[in-house]
Amino acid sequence: MIGHLSDAQEVGLGSIVDADLAKESARPQALQVQQQLSIQTLNLANAKPNALIVLCRG
């Protein structure tokens, strides 16, 4: 009985650690995507400034 509880605890803790690692590895990827989108937006704004003004006036 105690062995089963210990195994369950180890599995549970392993799942928590795995979830935390997944969260931490996803953060830099999300930041990189945000950076790429920002760069693309700035490139579009610089290429067609009048189009940006029209969009902002909505």
pLDDT in tens, 11-52: 677 787 777 777 778 888 899 999 999 999 888 878 887 876
Fill in the amino acid letter for 29: Q
Whether the predicted model's global pTM rises above the 0.85 cut: no
* Residue-range domain boundaries for the chain: 2-57
State the Cα–Cα distance between residues 40 and 47, nearest whole angstrom.
10
What is the model's pLDDT at position 39?
A: 93
Query: Tokens representing 36?
Result: 């790429």
Handedness of CA 37, 43, 48, 50 (dihedral sign): positive
